[in-house]
């Protein structure tokens, strides 16, 4: 007779998507990654894209940056087979709160601000969600496991691997 059990390694509270951008990576080419992982930090999906920047002559720098990021996100969201419960981005990579409005995202976007030393980390959200909703549960688990900032490094490593020839 088997012993009743539940394998805690197969229980997941959801997935989080990490948006990472290398801007501009080389010769006017911008790179983007959407790295999706579960609440245990295990990779679920890695989607990437690249876009050529418009000529910067008549663009305001921040508008050009946001246009390239919007293009990257639209491309990645269009082909990604997994819908995460929430998306996270680094505050220094642009105002992705406006991105959530410009391309009508239906998942919360969290803008991560950190001090770089592994200490203070804060998240500002593009929309409110209920305390016990899937986004709240996954965010809580990621915080408990110290997985708010480190996955951006893995996303960047993935971009550098995929586009190694472009980044030489």
Is CATH 3.30.2170 the classification given to domain 14-162?
A: yes
The pLDDT, as a whole number, for residue 66 is 87
CA 115, 118, 122, 125 torsion: positive or negative?
positive
**Residue pLDDT, tens place only, 85-118:** 999 999 988 776 667 667 888 899 999 998 876 6
Q: Kindly list the domain boundaries of the chain, sorted by start residue.
A: 14-162
The pLDDT, as a whole number, for residue 118 is 62
Cβ neighbors of 99 (< 8 A, separation 6 or more) are 66, 69, 70, 73, 105, 109
The pLDDT, as a whole number, for residue 41 is 95
The pLDDT, as a whole number, for residue 10 is 61
CA dihedral 17, 29, 158, 117 (to 10 degrees): -70
The segments of the chain whose pLDDT lies below 50 read: none
């Amino acid at each position: 007779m088997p012993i009743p059990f539940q394998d805690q390694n197969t229980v997941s509270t959801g997935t989080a998507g990490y948006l990472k951008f290398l801007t501009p990576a080389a010769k006017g080419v911008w790179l983007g990654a959407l790295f999706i992982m579960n609440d245990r930090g295990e990779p679920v999906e890695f989607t990437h894209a690249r876009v050529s920047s418009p000529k910067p002559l008549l663009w305001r720098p921040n508008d050009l940056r946001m246009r390239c990021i919007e293009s990257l996100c639209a491309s990645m969201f269009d082909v990604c087979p997994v819908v995460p419960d929430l998306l996270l981005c680094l505050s220094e990579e642009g105002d992705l709160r406006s991105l959530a409005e410009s391309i009508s995202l239906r998942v919360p976007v969290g803008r991560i601000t950190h001090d770089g030393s592994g200490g203070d980390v804060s998240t500002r959200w593009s929309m409110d969600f209920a305390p016990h909703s899937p986004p709240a549960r996954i965010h809580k688990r990621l915080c408990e496991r110290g997985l708010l900032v480190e996955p951006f490094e893995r996303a960047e490593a993935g971009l550098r691997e995929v586009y190694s020839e472009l980044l030489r």
